Every structure is written in structure tokens, then in C-alpha cells.
Structure 1
């Protein structure tokens, strides 16, 4: 296990005892036996660690999209992992600090979808399509947080289907035409 993963596991252990905003860098480093200096060599703050961990799972969830995998498949994988790591993500999504996970998720997923579409279309998104994509990404993050904070009563498969079914029509057509949906 590399140092970043070790720090993420320590943070998850700390989250079992305290909300994210109460956890200090010292708490994290004490939990895994590394120095503060080691922490700061890898992350600028606690939220940077949270976002790194989320990036890791999100990128793993979506890395095969376009190679026979669809947005639905990526979402199922993402929601399954979030559900498995419920304690971590509940605390992370509740946090409103600067550089919080909701904002980070939006930036990451918007960039991912934008790049995926542009790579396949070979030109920038129209203003209208960019607007629809941003609105869709904001809505999907809101619904992901709502799902998680309401005890994730719906399965990851049903939530992924609801997300893909709720896509604006023009955006859906682009994703369908590009074999991403």
C-alpha cells in the first residue's frame, strides 16, 4: 500500500469516530504512523486527501467507458463503491469546506464527460450542449448526495438507470450517437 492509500485508510478510520470537520492532520498521521511532513508531501490539506480518494474511485469507475462500457456501467460501479464506503462519503459530502467533494465531483465529472464527447466528436461542445451537460452534472451530483444521505434505499443499478433516464434529450442523443449510453 502506498503512502496516499495509507493516509486515506487512516482518514476512514478517523471518520468512524468523528465528523470530517473535526478530524485533524495529526489525527490522520497518528492513525497511520507517519509524520505531518509526510502528509503534506502528498496533500495540501484534509480535503485534498478526500478529493484524491474520490478521484481514484471515480476514474476507476469510468476508465473503460467507450471500450464497450457505458455511462450506466460507470455509474453503477461508482454508486456501488460509494455505497460500500458509505461512512466515508456521507461525511465527505456533508462537508462544506473550501474545495469540498460536491464541487470537486462536479468539476471532475463535467471535465470527464466534456473530454469524452469532444474526443469522439472531434470539436468543442456547442453552448447549448455545454449548458445541458453542466445542468445534468449538477443534478446528478445533487441526487447522488441525496441518495447517499437518505440511506441509499435504492440500489446502485436503479439509481444509475434513473440518472441516465433523466438526461436531457439532446444530451442523450449525443451520448447515444457516440455509443456512450
Structure 2
């Protein structure tokens, strides 16, 4: 029952985000659209940003779940672009709001974990410290998320496949190469 209620609240937030910016949505708007009371909302979430994080966590992570590996990272990155494009109205309303940092923070967190998994697979036979692997993941994370945020800010005009193909071409072999530079 709790998951059903959370999904219903999430659907209401997503519906409202297609219509207006995050800054113009209140808990009252969500509960009225969802036809539940405020207490129900606060039983599940601390605030709208907590609900937004739950939406990202449950939906966006499902998009890359099977593609967090050295051989499939390209597909995971492309699926992330596709998810953003499919939810264009919602993402743009978040991107252009005072709550944008929640989108940025989530993207950085998701890509950090995604890259950590890819780097771990590329680390075979190398002796790279966890701190150095985290540094390498951070470096690539800022590139990946920066490209995505730039694409969002330009109204998602460029084809995601083209962007990801360019990134893949640029990074072919680079994860392993970066790890080799830090190997002891």
C-alpha cells in the first residue's frame, strides 16, 4: 500500500511538473491532484524535494540498472539521455527552478556510482587506491553531467545518440588508461 501511495504522489508531481515550474508547486497542489490528505504526503515524504528524489531514484536508476558495466556504460548513458528527453517538460521545469540543485545533485550522485562500477571492472590487475578511483570517477562525472546539463540548457535540441556516440568515441579505452596512470 505504501508503494502505491508513493507512486500516486509521484505521478501527481510529474503531472504538475509538465504544467509548471517546481517553484510553483506546493504540497497542497500534489495532495489535491492525488486526492489524499497532507498527512498522507508527510507520512511518506519530508517535502517536495524528498518526493522528487524518490522519483529520480526509482525511475532514473531503473533506466541504467543493467548498464553499469564496462561493456555497457554507453547504453546506460544513452538511456539516461532518453529518460530526460521523455520527461522533457518535467526536467525543464526542475532545471529552470530554484530547486535545480536537486537535479544537479542527483545526476552527479547517480553518475558517480555508475562510473565507480565501470572503473571497478576496468581495475583488473591494477593496484589503484580507492581514493584515486574516486578521483577518476569524479573527473569523468563532471564531464558526463556537464555535457548533459549543457544539453538540457539548450532545450535538448541535439540528438542524444549523437552526443553519446561522441563521448564513447572520445572515451574508448580511457577508463583503463586513467586507472593505469594511477596504478602503483
TM superposition score category, shorter chain reference: 0.7 to 0.9
How do 1:60-99 and structure 2 match up within 5 A?
60-65=62-67, 70-97=72-99
How do 1:42-57 and structure 2 match up within 5 A?
42-57=44-59
Number of residue pairs the alignment of both structures matches: 175
TM-score, length of structure 2 as denominator length: 0.79
- Confirm or deny: 8 A CA contact 1:8 1:50 kept in the other structure: yes
Using the TM superposition, give the Cα deviation of residue 174 of structure 1 relative to its aligned residue in structure 2, in angstroms: 6.8
SS in structure 1 of the partner of residue 158 of structure 2: coil
- Point out the more displaced range, 38-47 or 58-67: 58-67
Structure 2 residue 160 is the aligned partner of structure 1 residue 146: no
Query: 1: distance between equivalents of 2:63 and 2:93?
Result: 21
Larger radius of gyration: 2
Pick from 132, 155, 180 the counterpart of residue 136 of structure 2. Answer: 132
Query: 1: distance between equivalents of 2:9 and 2:128?
Result: 38
Using the TM superposition, give the Cα deviation of residue 74 of structure 1 relative to its aligned residue in structure 2, in angstroms: 0.9
Query: 2: distance between equivalents of 1:103 and 1:51?
Result: 10
Q: What runs of 5+ residues in structure 1 fail to find an aligned partner?
A: 176-181
Query: 2: distance between equivalents of 1:140 and 1:67?
Result: 16
Pick from 8, 17, 20 the counterpart of residue 18 of structure 1. Answer: 20
RMSD of the TM alignment (CA)?
2.9
